[in-house]
Amino acid sequence: MMEADMRKVKCPRCGIVTEWSSANPYRPFCSKRCKNIDLGAWADEDYRVTMIDQEDFLLELQQVE
């Protein structure tokens, strides 16, 4: 792939612009360090997938039926 054709993305951790290609094994991160910091944040539960309250879910489910 030509250099001009390579897709550039910002590292989600530090914001440095990096290549999105098979040459970058840490993509979308710029480095192993940024990838590991992000993994650690998930392990520490810094990121969460929001969940709706079970009662709200059951009410919505009843409305669909």
* 26, pLDDT greater than 80: yes
CA separation for the pair 3, 7 (Å, rounded): 9
* 55, pLDDT greater than 60: yes
Task: Quick: pLDDT tens for 36-52.
Answer: 999 999 999 898 887 77
Instruction: Specify whether the CB–CB gap between 6 and 20 falls below 8 A.
Output: yes
User: Any known ligand binding at 4?
Assistant: no
Q: How confident is the model at residue 10 (pLDDT cuts 50, 70, 90)?
A: very high
* 4, pLDDT greater than 90: no
CA separation for the pair 6, 40 (Å, rounded): 29
Beta strands 17-20 and 7-10, pairing class: antiparallel
User: Any known ligand binding at 30?
Assistant: yes
Instruction: Specify whether the CB–CB gap between 17 and 24 falls below 8 A.
Output: no
User: Any known ligand binding at 14?
Assistant: yes
Domains of the chain with bracketed CATH: 3-64 (3.30.50.10)
